[in-house]
């Protein structure tokens, strides 16, 4: 098993990627020219893209002028780069030194063979200060390994179609949105309470 | 590491190692066939040759076989042939040529211990065909007679081959050292 030499194994040409998916010299597709091989041909840096997410929430927020991570908060940030993996290469995502010195942690992740999407990178701010990340800033680094076998099939992963919200909203506003989205359920719930009250009233009168 | 299976077939198309993948891909190797161009070396005079010199031009006879014509080799006879396929070895890979088993079992070999095809080589591969048997052997052009095995090299940082046998489109004769 060897670490993939990225100098010769990254392409932004989709037809070259498709042609080589099973080759012993298969190519990793990255749609941008902006990826960086700053630390040599063994690892590639990916950068902050357009969207970020709260953990366990599917709504995407626009990075726009940057995203602030509060102390002890974790969020997900989508990479700018779209990655397509061949069927015989496996990737690992890890943090960059600059985040370690800020007290932030990138959650380690894997990139499976045939993965085809933008990556969502988990970042946790373990410091007591807010951390701000701006669009295109270096986010994480990836290392790729050659496998001893080819994946016998391709995973079909569709692009996420999460709605994009310009700004994150507060708890109060989120509650109001929830009320608006669930007004029928709330009406049924109130009717049930009224019904129970009426029944109790009737029973009390009989007694 | 030898490259086999779908890694090999995909590598062949990716780098156009040979033009026709379906014709040449053979699970663990690339099948090579005999070209119509043949070069005979027929010594004359005292028939002595000093290694390191250039072959006398009058000893070299080039010919082109028709598709229905045979390359005929009597017992102990030899000729220079070449692969019908033009082969491109990508940097990062190294080729080793072997005689196809069915021909080797007739005591015919297509190389004289000169089986290595270096990274960056491009062209038709010259065969040193020798009939070691006691039979006369006839081989048709386009018949599969060789197998090319590809090995991955430990690094890509090697100078691509650009030697005197590169870009050949017919059998290449021995060249002066």
Pick from B14, B21, B30 the residue to mutate for testing the A interface (most A CBs within 10 Å).
Answer: B14
Q: Rounded distance, CA B121 to CA B162, Å? A: 7
Q: Rounded distance, CA A126 to CA B26, Å? A: 56
Average of per-residue pLDDT across A92-117: 90
Cα pseudo-dihedral A26, A46, A164, A184, rounded to 10: 80
Arithmetic mean of pLDDT over chain B: 94
Q: CB distance A24–B13 less than 8 Å? A: no
B6 in contact with chain A, both atoms CB, cutoff 8 A: yes
Chain segment A17-74, per-residue pLDDT in tens: 999 999 999 999 999 876 778 778 889 999 999 999 988 777 889 998 899 999 999 9
A9 in contact with chain B, both atoms CB, cutoff 8 A: no
**CA–CA min distance A19, chain B (Å):** 6
**Residues of B with active-site annotation:** 128
Q: CB distance B7–A19 less than 8 Å? A: no
> A28 forms bridges with which residues in the sheet?
A10
Q: CB distance A150–B14 less than 8 Å? A: no
- The percent of residues in chain B predicted with pLDDT above 70, rounded, is 99
| pLDDT of A192 over the 70 cut | yes
Looking at residue B10, what DSSP letter applies?
Answer: H
CB distance B52 to B40 below 8 Å: no
The ipTM of this complex is 0.72
Average of per-residue pLDDT across B75-87: 97
Q: What is the pTM of this model?
A: 0.76
Q: Rounded distance, CA A30 to CA A9, Å? A: 10
């Amino acid at each position: 098993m060897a670490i993939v030499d990225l100098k010769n194994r990254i392409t932004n040409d989709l037809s070259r990627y498709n042609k080589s998916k099973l080759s012993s010299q298969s190519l990793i597709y990255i749609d941008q020219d902006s990826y960086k091989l700053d630390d040599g041909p063994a690892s590639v840096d990916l950068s902050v893209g357009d969207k970020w997410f709260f953990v366990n929430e599917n709504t995407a927020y626009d990075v726009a002028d940057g995203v602030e991570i509060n102390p002890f908060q974790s969020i997900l940030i989508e990479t700018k780069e779209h990655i397509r993996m061949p069927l015989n290469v496996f990737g690992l995502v890890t943090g960059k030194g600059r985040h370690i010195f800020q007290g932030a942690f990138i959650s380690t992740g894997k990139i499976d063979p045939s993965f085809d999407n933008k990556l969502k990178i988990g970042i946790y701010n373990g410091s007591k200060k807010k951390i701000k990340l701006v669009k295109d800033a270096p986010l994480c680094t990836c290392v790729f390994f050659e496998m001893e076998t080819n994946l016998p099939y391709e995973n079909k992963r569709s692009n996420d179609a999460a709605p994009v919200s310009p700004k994150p909203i507060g708890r109060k506003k989120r509650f109001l949105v929830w009320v608006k989205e669930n007004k029928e359920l709330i009406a049924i719930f109130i009717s049930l309470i009224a019904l129970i009250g009426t029944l109790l009233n009737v029973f009390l009168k009989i007694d | 590491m030898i490259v086999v299976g779908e890694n090999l077939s995909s590598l062949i198309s990716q780098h156009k190692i040979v033009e026709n993948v379906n014709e040449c891909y053979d699970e663990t190797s690339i099948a090579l066939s005999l070209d119509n161009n043949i070069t005979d070396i027929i010594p004359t005079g005292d028939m002595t040759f000093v290694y390191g010199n250039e072959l006398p031009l009058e000893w070299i006879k080039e010919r082109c076989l028709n598709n229905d014509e045979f390359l005929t080799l009597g017992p102990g006879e030899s000729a220079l042939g070449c692969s019908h396929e033009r082969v491109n070895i990508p940097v990062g890979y190294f080729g080793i040529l072997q005689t196809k088993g069915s021909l080797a079992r007739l005591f015919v070999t297509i190389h004289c211990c000169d089986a290595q095809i270096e990274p960056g080589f491009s062209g038709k591969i010259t065969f040193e065909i020798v009939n070691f048997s006691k039979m006369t052997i006839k081989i048709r052009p386009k018949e599969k007679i060789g197998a090319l095995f590809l090995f991955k090299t430990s690094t890509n940082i090697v100078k691509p081959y650009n030697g005197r046998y590169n870009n050949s489109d017919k059998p290449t004769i021995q060249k002066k050292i």
